[in-house]
Amino acid sequence: MEKLHFDVATLGGGPGATPGAQLLARAGKKVAIIEQGEGLGGTCLFEGCIPSKIFLETASRLHALTQDAEFGITGAQCEGIDLPRLRQRKAEILAARVQGANQSCSHLGITMIHGTADFASPHVLRVHRTGLEDLLVEADFLLVSPGSTSSTLHIVGAEDPQIWTSADALRMDLIPSTLTIIGGGYIGCELATLFSRFGTKVHILEAAPRLLLTEDPGISQTLAQFWQQQNAGIAVDLNVDIQAIRHISEDRWELNYQDSEGNFHNLESQRVLMAVGRKPNTSGLSFDKAGLSLGTHGEVPVNDFYQTQVPHIYAPGDANGRIMLAHAATRQAQLAALHLLGRVTSPTPLVVPHVIFTAPEIAAVGADSRSLTEHPQWRLVRWNYAQDARARIVGDLSGFAQLVWDPTSRELKGLQVMGKGAGEMVEEATYVLTHQGTVDSMVQTIHPHPTLNEVVSELAGFTVAEA
């Protein structure tokens, strides 16, 4: 069996591996990337954030037709959704991303190895290649980043392989007339937005007392109210206990569940989507042969440099179970590489923003209203989109932004935005939080007019003026 030796090898070619591999190659290391998928990019590119945003863009443009009259446009209409063209557009975007990553890695002299891998020993990965003999890849250092996979519920019928995961839904083979989504987290809510705008009647079943349990409670409440007021075609049941999922016929599913008052219901739909979170994709990799033990949820335990208990093995990205976001994985991979090179010796807490591409869009970074219980000296301040010129121009009068700050130190502690452009507006606060900046610095920064970013500067100015 052939054996190749490298300074560094990565298990995986997604955001938790490739950025670190590229940094190490630039530093002169001999690097290999082992990837089993269609190309470099990982779950985010092929099954998650990129495909969903491609389809959500189409859904947004479709929805905009319903608002044309408000902007003085008459007669615009949609004749239908061209699913083959939509899938083709997705394929073209993904191919362009893969080509760019491949060219970058090739230019850096990184060796690409296609296949599935598991540990043969602490320094050796066995790569299983279709139609070829297995290959042994030995490395002085390893970045193990196998990503994550969809979680499921342990209830009757949940094992049926025809229940959609988010990856199944994003193949976009079908726009169902009715869809039941199990789970009201960010994945479930984004896909509810997508399919409802494509004309599907969506019903979300959530075990928790509110949608988006990880978000500020006010955000969750506003989203539910907005969907109801706008007749978005999304029904929501909270505090439910799902008893069973039954596949009655090809296009007919039934869910049996109990509501918060103890009443039992049978809910039928054309398709069922399981969106109850993600878990580290660490099974079957023989971590024991590397001297590694997994955590209770299958995660790989790491320190603040994403280094495992075996010092030459790092595990950035979803595999460590800390923050399952592509941009967090990218930074973790870079920090792991810098630590491997000896360039980073002091841990730096990551300030990680996130965006939920629902309608309305949601973005957040840092502390929210829940932090006020632990820090009663902090303050929450809110500013409505309706007070901003650009927001009125684009037609969003219901959006808002809120910040949390410490009036004594004047430090910004967090920002949440809900409305058009939210994802683009949270970056300024991320920078300020990363550098322990103040709300005053946001006021002193000139923001171009008229832009939605003025909502943030107006909020900061109001905060300081009212202090």
CATH number at residue 428: 3.30.390.30
Burial string for 151-177 (b: 16+ CB within 10 Å, else e) reads eebebebbeeeebbbbebbbebeebbe
Beta-strand (E) ranges in 116-240? 116-121, 124-128, 135-144, 148-150, 178-182, 201-205, 234-237
Question: What is the structure's pLDDT at 159?
Answer: 95
Question: What is the structure's pLDDT at 88?
Answer: 97
Question: What is the structure's pLDDT at 282?
Answer: 96
Could you tell me the pLDDT band of residue 238, with boundaries at 50, 70 and 90? very high
Is there a single domain that holds both residue 116 and residue 219? no
Tell whether the model's pLDDT for residue 230 goes beyond 90: no
Domain assignment present for 158: no
In this prediction, residues 346-365 reach a mean pLDDT of 95
| Radius of gyration of the chain measured on its C-alpha atoms | 24
Is there a single domain that holds both residue 181 and residue 36? no
Q: How far apart are CA 179 and CA 195, in angstroms?
A: 8
Question: What is the structure's pLDDT at 75?
Answer: 82
Is there a single domain that holds both residue 37 and residue 121? yes
Question: What is the structure's pLDDT at 25?
Answer: 98
pTM of the model: 0.95
Q: How far apart are CA 307 and CA 313, in angstroms?
A: 6
Is there a single domain that holds both residue 104 and residue 127? yes
Could you tell me the pLDDT band of residue 181, with boundaries at 50, 70 and 90? very high
Domain assignment present for 351: no
Domain end marker among 225, 250, 276? 276
Could you tell me the pLDDT band of residue 325, with boundaries at 50, 70 and 90? very high
Is there a single domain that holds both residue 8 and residue 137? yes
Domain end marker among 311, 340, 369? 340
Mean pLDDT of the chain: 96
Question: What is the structure's pLDDT at 78?
Answer: 85
Q: How far apart are CA 73 and CA 64, in angstroms?
A: 11
Beta-strand (E) ranges in 97-240? 111-114, 116-121, 124-128, 135-144, 148-150, 178-182, 201-205, 234-237
Domain assignment present for 352: no
| Residue type (1 letter), 34 | I
**pLDDT per residue as tens digits for the range 368-423:** 999 999 999 999 999 999 999 999 999 999 999 999 999 999 999 999 999 999 99
Tell whether the model's pLDDT for residue 363 goes beyond 90: yes
Nearest of 191, 195, 197 to residue 174 by alpha carbon: 195
Could you tell me the pLDDT band of residue 456, with boundaries at 50, 70 and 90? very high
Is there a single domain that holds both residue 49 and residue 189? no
Tokens describing residue 444: 């002193």
Q: How far apart are CA 364 and CA 218, in angstroms?
A: 12
Domain that holds residue 236: 166-276
Tell whether the model's pLDDT for residue 68 goes beyond 90: no
- Helices 49-64 and 83-107 meet at what angle, rounded to 10? 140
Backbone angles phi, psi at 14, to 5 degrees: -95, -165
Q: Answer whether 154's CB lies under 8 Å from 23's CB.
A: no
In whole angstroms, how far apart are CA 57 and each of 50, 61, 122, 262? 11, 6, 45, 40
In this prediction, residues 213-217 reach a mean pLDDT of 97
Domain assignment present for 345: no
Using DSSP's 3-state secondary structure scheme, residue 150 falls into: strand
In this prediction, residues 185-191 reach a mean pLDDT of 98
- CATH number reported for the structural domain that contains residue 229 in this entry: 3.50.50.60
**pLDDT per residue as tens digits for the range 239-276:** 999 999 999 999 999 999 999 999 999 999 999 999 99
Domain assignment present for 407: yes
CB under 8 A, 24+ apart: contacts of 50-55: 50/93, 50/94, 50/97, 51/90, 51/94, 51/170, 52/166, 52/170, 52/190, 52/191, 52/194, 52/357, 53/357, 54/86, 54/89, 54/90, 54/93, 55/86, 55/90, 55/170, 55/172, 55/194
Tell whether the model's pLDDT for residue 1 goes beyond 90: no
Is there a single domain that holds both residue 368 and residue 459? yes
Is there a single domain that holds both residue 32 and residue 137? yes
Question: What is the structure's pLDDT at 77?
Answer: 82
Question: What is the structure's pLDDT at 79?
Answer: 83
In this prediction, residues 321-334 reach a mean pLDDT of 96
In this prediction, residues 69-77 reach a mean pLDDT of 87
Q: How far apart are CA 166 and CA 50, in angstroms?
A: 12
Domain assignment present for 74: yes
Domain assignment present for 355: no
**pLDDT per residue as tens digits for the range 113-164:** 999 999 999 999 999 999 999 999 999 999 999 999 999 999 999 999 999 9
**Residue recorded with tokens 């440099």:** 305
Tell whether the model's pLDDT for residue 38 goes beyond 90: no
In this prediction, residues 73-101 reach a mean pLDDT of 92
Is there a single domain that holds both residue 85 and residue 32? yes
Is there a single domain that holds both residue 316 and residue 364? no
Report angle CA 13, 17, 23 to the nearest 5 degrees: 120
Is there a single domain that holds both residue 221 and residue 240? yes
Bridge partners of residue 411, in order along the sequence: 438
Could you tell me the pLDDT band of residue 347, with boundaries at 50, 70 and 90? confident
Q: How far apart are CA 62 and CA 80, in angstroms?
A: 10
| Residue type (1 letter), 188 | G
Number of domains in the chain: 3
What is the percent of the chain where pLDDT is above 90? 92
CB under 8 A, 24+ apart: contacts of 379-386: 379/404, 379/405, 379/406, 379/407, 379/463, 380/404, 381/405, 381/459, 381/462, 381/463, 381/466, 382/459, 383/455, 383/458, 383/459, 383/462, 385/419, 385/420, 385/452, 385/455
**pLDDT per residue as tens digits for the range 430-455:** 999 999 999 999 999 999 999 999 99
Query: Which residues have C-beta within 8 Å of that of residue 378, sequence separation ≥ 6?
Result: 367, 371, 372, 404, 405, 406, 407, 413
Domain assignment present for 348: no
Question: What is the structure's pLDDT at 377?
Answer: 97
Number of other CB atoms surrounding residue 97 within 10 Å: 17
Is there a single domain that holds both residue 184 and residue 227? yes
Domain end marker among 340, 370, 386? 340
In this prediction, residues 281-289 reach a mean pLDDT of 96
Question: What is the structure's pLDDT at 283?
Answer: 94
